[in-house]
Structure 1
Amino acid sequence: MPAANAIGVAINTSTYTLNFSKTVLPSQGSFELRQGSTTLATMPASDTSRVTFSGQTVTLKPGVRLAANTAYSLVAVDSPVADSGGRPWSPAALNFTTGAAPAITRIHDIQGNSEVSPLLGRTVTVSGVVTTFLPDLNGFYVQEEEANYDADPGTSEGVFVYGLAGAPAVGEDTVGKRVQFTAIVDEYNRLTQLKSVSDLEIKEAVPLPAPIAITLPITDMAQWERYEGMLVKITSATSGGKLLVSDNYTLGRYGDVVLSNDEVLPQFTDKNKPSVAGYADYAKTMQRRQIILDDRSSKQNPASVRGRNNQPLSAANPLRAGDGVDAVVGVLDQFYQNATPPEIYQTSYRIQPTQALNFTGAARPSASDLHTALGQAGVKIASANVLNFFSMVGDTSTNTKDVFPTPLGNTIGIRGANTLVELERQKAKVVANLIGLKADVYGLMEVQNNGFADDSALKLLIDGMNASADKPAGATYAYVKAPFNQGGGSTIAGAGTDAITVAIVYRSDRVTPVGSAAVPNVSTYDAFTPNVGGARVPIAQTFSVPTATGTEQITVVVNHFKSKGSLLATGGNGDILDGQGNNNPARVKTAEQLKNWLATKPTGSDSANTVLVGDFNAYAMEDPVTYLESNGYTKVSTGYSYSFDGLWGSLDHIFVTPSLVSKVGKVVKWAINAEEPPVLDYNVEYKSEAQVADFYAPTAYRSSDHNPIVMGLNFDALPVNQPPAIKGVPTTATPVVVGQSIALSGVTVEDPDSEQLVLTLTPVNGNVSGANDADAQLPGVQLKGTTAQINSELGKASFVPTAQGDANLGFSVSDGTNGAVTASYAFKVSAVVDPGKGFELVPSAGGSVSGRIEGAGCRLASSPQYVTVQSLGITTMPMEGATLPHGLLALTAAGCDVGGALTVTMNYSQPLPQNAELWKWGRTADNLNKHWYRIPHKITGQTVSFELRDGGLGDDDLKADGNITDPTAIVAPGAVPPVANAVSVPVMNLWGLLTLSLSFLSFAPLARRWSRRR
């Protein structure tokens, strides 16, 4: 095969088969593939890589691509084949003729204008340019050359080619080259692709198609499908906006993150009241605001993943939620798994980057930053979820293998660390978290419910805190123990039967427990049972805290409501898709019973001072939160504390009773956990030996999945807080040109109270560069920290105007107590001009002027200069009493066409006076003595234009020699009051940057013209 004298043989034929009537063996000769008299390939019978003998069959592989519509012959030379008896085979030549080249199917025809290819399952031949090579995805992308795009905006011009086995020649060096191949159209996880590649040819290098510009949010999800497989450039639709990391949960496992425009994506019910219709609309909005940034690989737990500054991830170089990048360029693809579909607000579209990415973000907030933000506080109360802190280690994969007894006697499986190594790593992180908060009372969630003895998780944690070298001087930590008072004169040995419990830790050197801690009796308050309300049993403890006049009592209540995850079997707790998730009725019931229980004063204290802390598993606008707010509790905490599936909100809250509202100082959520990628936690599984070391540090960062909160209370009067100040902002507009960088090092902030400040820089008609934006989610550039830290950032910052006209850089500094202090740095921005054709001047009177020269091939040979009438020997004015309030301007133009005409146009930044006239000082053909004379001109609004001719009117040397010398002025008649503080600087700063050889010696703007006799 092919048969003798066959015609229409496929040009992709790569093997030739000879079938014999008996078994044959290789002999001494060879086979040749010829085109006419030209030998294209020689295949010795002994070359087993190209000639294969198998019984009665011989297979030949010439390694030559056939041309279309061409005659070939396969010739046996010197008897390459013999039978088992050694008798040679001497055939005639095998002749055949190829058919036409296969028709090319365009990629847009393969993609069609719907999600599924109209050519699914068909074999096609494709020609396109390789846009990216993805060996870790076992394929590459091809795209039509731009000249071959169709006119249908609904069809994509790119497609993924799967299976490198059929394309072994394709590699990184193939990117930017045209390839042609045959393949089968396929769909995989909703991505249209080509598979079973054959007959691939690598052809010439061609220009890569320009990336399609896409901005987030997109207008509709169909927009992604139009560009599936194509090179794209994704940016924020906001001018100066960024793409921010909104979800980094799978960064360590799959190397991908979700990007959104300008802010991390908020939970619906953290900003909006629950609503079925509202949530459905909101989900669509969130879906249009995001794109998955993949890592060009399908590997799980990759050896290296992306961190900040185009460097690998490490404990010291994270990639935090909120970190941003200006743009992402790459190939758009899709990965939708029917078995595990995305949430209704998530996208399945991804971008495989083709250019390096430099993510930047604010410095991680330190404990010092936290306490600067917190300010002065008499007593500090914190809420912290410690994410399954257990003192027992083992198998956590089931709830039945490694188990322990709770204080109430039931047995349940462990969670948390699997080994003692992991436990030590976890403990170091949790201790760093809690010590960093420097609280006097801590409400903890997710501590192992194994009692209060020396082997308990609580004892292990407290020992770690007391042993910490970073704890405050003199600090001694203790924890609240059972038995707990549950009312009616009875006590109980623990708080609930779950594997985890809430707990209270306190500084015994700062506060003193009053009476016994209390828990609700679950036979009365069944919301705190596993099957009814699912909430963990809360613990309440009253503390005595010292004040300047004595002591105050505060009751701290630690809570952990039922989550939105596993669904309670009873109570109508299913998700009704209003944004509140599963188990909302159970959480509402928990809030109601919590309020009712606390109304009984369970700790025995008559103090009205109560603080609720904990993980309420409800966002800020959800029913359980609003119920508490409408029943005597004020929520004093704000901001995000948790991310779930890429949406951000706060499940963690602090509420206070009315008696404490006026005593609350600052409440700060320490952003050390939720923003960090989970792979930086204490766990060692699924990590290489290097990653176990590089991804871990014994710091507070990623010690849990929730951000802790700390609240300052002040029972004593505080000193009056003084507002900060902004210094060094000029009081008048600064002249600049487009693109000029203006250093901000002269601007500083001051604050007598030495607090943490937030300075917002808001540019108008320009950008701020050089400073590290502490919160890219907010408009403008945010600088946070002490005055020294902010002034250091200002010292590196600059403002760069983007367009001619007015520009402004707004400053707004806040200390969180006083009203914002503002200042405005104004700029007058001139255009960048060709120094040979245009000019910009900013004189000290009458406003700025810009201008240009056109015609006769002229160019300015030197920069214009302002001159005085005295320097030119002028002793008279064009008319009696007239003045030249802005002096004279001297310019020279050269290189003009001999005898050519030059047009001069000048634009003033301020209106010209009525009846202004243009006069010249120089010689004319009828008077060789220098004198004043008028030339034809046109004044329209703020624009003046006139013509000068080489050797003619307006050319002072009166020579047609390619040089034009022109002194020109606008004259103010005597009846017009002179411009105040008139100086020898013309209003028309058009001449400022000309580099021609035009000598316009006297352009003086006139304020106004008085009627003059003729």
Structure 2
Amino acid sequence: MPHIPRSAAVGAVVATALAAGLLVTTSSAASADTVAIHDIQGTTRVSPLAGQQVTDVAGIVTGVRGYGSKGFWIQSADGDADQDPATSEGVFVFTGSAPLTVEAGDAVLVSGTVAEYVPGGAASGNQSLTQITKPTVTVRTSGNALPAPVRIDAKSVPAAYAPAGDPARDNSVNGLPLRPRSYALDLYESLEGMNVRVGTSRVVGATDAYNELWVTVKKHENPNRRGGTVYGSYRAQNGGRLQIQQLAPVSQQPFPKANVGDVLNGRTEGPLDFNQFGGYTLVARQLGEVADKGLARERTKRQAKGELAVATYNVENLDPSDPQQKFDALAGAVVANLASPDIVALEEIQDDTGAKNDGTVSAAATLKKFTDAIVAAGGPRYAWRSVDPENNKDGGEPGGNIRQVFLYNPERVSFTERAPGDATTPTGVVREGGRAALTHSPGRIAPGDAAWADSRKPLAGEFVFRGRTVFVIANHFGSKGGDEGLTSHHQPPVRSSETKRLRQAQVVNGFVKDLRKVKGDADVVVLGDINDFEFSATAKALQDGGALRSAVESLPRSERYSYVYQGNSQVLDQILTSPGVGRDFAYDSVHINAEFADQNSDHDPQVLRFRP
């Protein structure tokens, strides 16, 4: 293909470019002493030229992004010019405005300042993206062939995820030499800004509201039977995962809707970016086609007459302003997919005015609308019990006042009402006729403890099923907000939020121990959105001293998940039982949301069936 100068076209947009801070020229060849892209990228995560001016950096434009972080990528036309696999031959040029002056295939010279941009800010712990800022751009020729893409596949991505950080530098990997043949994150960093491609790959993270999905290039890496990739430990991060976006605006090219287990067929090719919400991301100039593999929403087995079915379901900030469609879908799932459990612990029920910050704390209207929808779906007329929180004291959306709520089917179970507690009065454990009892039912556990500051307080209640008392404790532990991502420059990443959940788990564990001191074989079910993994310190603290057992661990490892985050299928929602419940139970993580682009909640509900 001939090289066609575009001086006329460039001249037509010079005024626009100058106004946007991007100076475009159309002359000259590179001088002999100019810096190459691999010199900018260097052999570590941080450019050796950061903060310095560079002149006439030569490259071929491989992609132009006119939205979000606006700019374009350039790559050396000489392949791996320095023959060093640790140095990338591509770099992002940040224009700060719509880069209307270049297009893929242009041969350019770029002068500007080398910078390390940390998406999300330094406090996020994210790695930085090397880029050229405040650029002056010379378009030399157009219509050039793009550099051949580097293929990312199961063979090229190392099994190990990341090196251990340097203890002398706060466990940062920034100063360590890249070893792309040894670590997945080092490989991706060595390709930052370069034209890459993946072939036919399985979708492991459904299309989200931001028009992105996740695939894996390692089909045998911790798979589950529904097509996902399971996050099974802090050392099994699944390096084959890669986020996929597209360069074309959605207004010009709709992004495909994909569920977990679908397949992205054919060639997906474009620059490898690094962003705040997922780390290394293939920004597709050419996007493959999604093949629908027909993933179905699961349905659990209905409980037998003598079985008590207890469920937990995070309904994601439900309030009366949500469309009736959401209420109907959630209610239909309770009836059809969860088989109308006897007791349902709900998380994220908002007050009657939702996120409107007007002092309202009652959720009666929310619950009536939801329970009415369950009846309309063919389910039972559930009763409910809860404790209204203090205004804006339990975290979540300001004004939303999320809380846990018990729904129960009065035709199957009864609720033992004992001087209902309020937002600040703790429930306790007493002996009554040789049995354990709560001082307040429903009641909140230790609401004044610092563990629950700006967090949802546990809700405890007494139920009776076929003459047997069952204590149920509904939880919504502190979120993982503030934790560093798996691609953090700290390795291992800092999990700062765990401290709070650990203390919360200790408080709940102590309460269960109090119940068991009064009645050793008491049936206790602790459940909810624990916001932590089954192998975490939080889960271990809940089980301390044998007070509780994790029901999710009764499942095969590949089936342990209730949530999908960045392509990792993982446990956040849990049910734990006291020894009195025994081991003869059925447990089901009912996959109806987390794997789907069309979600009614981002969590999958959990169901436990046992005979008290």
TM-score where L is the length of structure 2: 0.65
Matching residue of 1:252: 209
Q: In the TM superposition, what whole-angstrom CA distance separates every residue of 1:93-144 from its partner, at most 9, and x where no partner exists?
A: xxxxxxx985484444454444326494122162x44433444465443433
- Structure 1 range deviating more: 159-168 or 116-125: 159-168
Q: How does 1:130-209 map to 2 (within 5 A)?
A: 130-136=61-67, 138-146=70-78, 149-163=81-95, 170-171=102-103, 175=105, 179-181=107-109, 183-184=111-112, 186-187=114-115, 189=117, 190-193=129-132, 196-203=135-142, 205-206=144-145, 208-209=147-148
Matching residue of 1:651: 572
Matching residue of 1:228: 192
Q: 1:555 to 1:142 in 2, by over 3 A?
A: same
Would you say 1:354 and 2:274 are equivalent positions? no
Letter paired with 1:460: K
Q: 1:143 to 1:576 in 2, by over 3 A?
A: closer
Return the match for 1:712 from 578, 590, 609: 609
* Whole-angstrom distance in 2 between the partners of 1:133 and 1:578: 35
In angstroms, what is the RMSD of aligned CA positions? Answer: 4.6
Question: Is the contact between residue 320 and residue 676 of structure 1 (CA under 8 Å) also seen in structure 2?
Answer: yes
Q: In the TM superposition, what whole-angstrom CA distance separates every residue of 1:144-203 from its partner, at most 9, and x where no partner exists?
A: 3347833333333333445599986644xx53xx62445335336232337634442325
* Whole-angstrom distance in 2 between the partners of 1:641 and 1:103: 58
Letter paired with 2:212: D
Would you say 1:434 and 2:337 are equivalent positions? no
* Whole-angstrom distance in 1 between the partners of 2:606 and 2:326: 20
Letter paired with 2:526: L
Q: In the TM superposition, what whole-angstrom CA distance separates every residue of 1:255-298 from its partner, at most 9, and x where no partner exists?
A: 3345454456655xxx45xxxxxx5xx3xx6385543323226x
Q: In the TM superposition, what whole-angstrom CA distance separates every residue of 1:464-493 from its partner, at most 9, and x where no partner exists?
A: 222x2x325xx3333347xxxxxxxxxxxx
Q: What percentage of residue pairs aligned between the two structures are identical?
A: 18
Matching residue of 2:122: none
Would you say 1:471 and 2:378 are equivalent positions? yes
Matched position secondary structure for 1:122: strand
Deviation at 1:434, TM superposition (A): 2.0
Matched position secondary structure for 1:563: coil
Matching residue of 1:371: 300
Matching residue of 2:488: none
* Whole-angstrom distance in 1 between the partners of 2:133 and 2:403: 54
Question: Is the contact between residue 258 and residue 291 of structure 1 (CA under 8 Å) also seen in structure 2?
Answer: yes
Q: 1:668 to 1:164 in 2, by over 3 A?
A: closer
* Whole-angstrom distance in 1 between the partners of 2:193 and 2:313: 45
Letter paired with 1:355: Q
Matched position secondary structure for 1:370: coil
* Whole-angstrom distance in 2 between the partners of 1:427 and 1:101: 63
* Whole-angstrom distance in 2 between the partners of 1:149 and 1:452: 65
Question: Is the contact between residue 347 and residue 404 of structure 2 (CA under 8 Å) also seen in structure 1?
Answer: yes
Matching residue of 1:938: none
Question: Is the contact between residue 373 and residue 668 of structure 1 (CA under 8 Å) also seen in structure 2?
Answer: no
Question: Is the contact between residue 442 and residue 504 of structure 1 (CA under 8 Å) also seen in structure 2?
Answer: yes
Would you say 1:560 and 2:475 are equivalent positions? yes
Would you say 1:445 and 2:386 are equivalent positions? no
Q: In the TM superposition, what whole-angstrom CA distance separates every residue of 1:786-839 from its partner, at most 9, and x where no partner exists?
A: xxxxxxxxxxxxxxxxxxxxxxxxxxxxxxxxxxxxxxxxxxxxxxxxxxxxxx
Matched position secondary structure for 1:151: coil
Deviation at 1:513, TM superposition (A): 0.7
Matching residue of 1:380: 309
TM-score where L is the length of structure 1: 0.42
Question: Is the contact between residue 558 and residue 612 of structure 1 (CA under 8 Å) also seen in structure 2?
Answer: yes
Return the match for 1:543 from 420, 441, 464: 464
Deviation at 1:330, TM superposition (A): 2.8
Would you say 1:613 and 2:527 are equivalent positions? yes
Question: Is the contact between residue 382 and residue 410 of structure 2 (CA under 8 Å) also seen in structure 1?
Answer: yes
Question: Is the contact between residue 318 and residue 366 of structure 2 (CA under 8 Å) also seen in structure 1?
Answer: yes
Letter paired with 1:543: V
* Whole-angstrom distance in 2 between the partners of 1:507 and 1:329: 51
Would you say 1:640 and 2:561 are equivalent positions? yes
> Structure 1: where are the runs of 5+ without partners?
1-11, 16-48, 50-63, 69-99, 236-240, 273-278, 314-318, 337-341, 392-419, 482-493, 545-550, 568-574, 681-701, 716-1014
Q: 1:110 to 1:435 in 2, by over 3 A?
A: same
Matched position secondary structure for 1:582: helix
Q: In the TM superposition, what whole-angstrom CA distance separates every residue of 1:520-579 from its partner, at most 9, and x where no partner exists?
A: 8617589521543315242323233xxxxxx45351503215314579xxxxxxx99578
Deviation at 1:595, TM superposition (A): 0.9
Letter paired with 2:408: Y
Matching residue of 1:672: 592
Matching residue of 1:661: 582
Q: How does 1:582-597 map to 2 (within 5 A)?
A: 582-597=499-514
Letter paired with 2:107: V
> Structure 2: where are the runs of 5+ without partners?
13-24, 118-128, 159-179, 353-359, 395-400, 430-443, 483-491, 554-559
Matching residue of 2:426: 522
Q: 1:351 to 1:303 in 2, by over 3 A?
A: same
* Whole-angstrom distance in 1 between the partners of 2:407 and 2:563: 22
Q: How does 1:211-222 map to 2 (within 5 A)?
A: 211-213=150-152, 215-217=156-158, 219-220=182-183, 221-222=185-186
* Whole-angstrom distance in 1 between the partners of 2:498 and 2:97: 46
Q: 1:288 to 1:185 in 2, by over 3 A?
A: farther
Letter paired with 2:131: T
* Whole-angstrom distance in 1 between the partners of 2:98 and 2:363: 65
Q: How does 1:428-827 map to 2 (within 5 A)?
A: 428-436=328-336, 437=338, 438-448=340-350, 455-466=364-375, 468=376, 470-472=377-379, 475-480=380-385, 494=387, 497=390, 498=394, 499-509=401-411, 511-513=412-414, 515-516=416-417, 522=426, 528-534=446-452, 536-544=457-465, 551=466, 553-565=468-480, 581-599=498-516, 608-629=522-543, 630-638=545-553, 639-643=560-564, 648-661=569-582, 663-664=584-585, 666-676=586-596, 702-713=599-610
Matched position secondary structure for 2:324: helix
Deviation at 1:463, TM superposition (A): 1.9
* Whole-angstrom distance in 1 between the partners of 2:189 and 2:415: 65
Structure exhibiting the larger radius of gyration computed from Cα positions:
1
Q: 1:375 to 1:104 in 2, by over 3 A?
A: farther
Question: Is the contact between residue 562 and residue 587 of structure 1 (CA under 8 Å) also seen in structure 2?
Answer: yes
Question: Is the contact between residue 383 and residue 708 of structure 1 (CA under 8 Å) also seen in structure 2?
Answer: yes
Deviation at 1:519, TM superposition (A): 6.8
Question: Is the contact between residue 454 and residue 460 of structure 1 (CA under 8 Å) also seen in structure 2?
Answer: no
Aligned residue-pair number: 490
- Structure 1 range deviating more: 514-523 or 217-226: 514-523
Question: Is the contact between residue 591 and residue 627 of structure 1 (CA under 8 Å) also seen in structure 2?
Answer: no
Q: In the TM superposition, what whole-angstrom CA distance separates every residue of 1:769-788 from its partner, at most 9, and x where no partner exists?
A: xxxxxxxxxxxxxxxxxxxx
Deviation at 1:329, TM superposition (A): 3.9
Matching residue of 2:318: 389
* Whole-angstrom distance in 1 between the partners of 2:576 and 2:49: 59
Question: Is the contact between residue 244 and residue 325 of structure 1 (CA under 8 Å) also seen in structure 2?
Answer: yes
Question: Is the contact between residue 73 and residue 271 of structure 2 (CA under 8 Å) also seen in structure 1?
Answer: no
Question: Is the contact between residue 381 and residue 440 of structure 1 (CA under 8 Å) also seen in structure 2?
Answer: yes
Question: Is the contact between residue 385 and residue 706 of structure 1 (CA under 8 Å) also seen in structure 2?
Answer: yes
Letter paired with 2:575: I
* Whole-angstrom distance in 2 between the partners of 1:580 and 1:163: 36
Deviation at 1:594, TM superposition (A): 2.4
Q: In the TM superposition, what whole-angstrom CA distance separates every residue of 1:240-263 from its partner, at most 9, and x where no partner exists?
A: x94543486xx423x334545445
Matching residue of 2:173: none
Deviation at 1:707, TM superposition (A): 1.3
Deviation at 1:386, TM superposition (A): 2.2
Q: With a CA cutoff of 8 Å and minimum separation of 6, indicate the structure with the bigger relative contact order.
A: 2
Letter paired with 1:216: V
Question: Is the contact between residue 614 and residue 653 of structure 1 (CA under 8 Å) also seen in structure 2?
Answer: yes
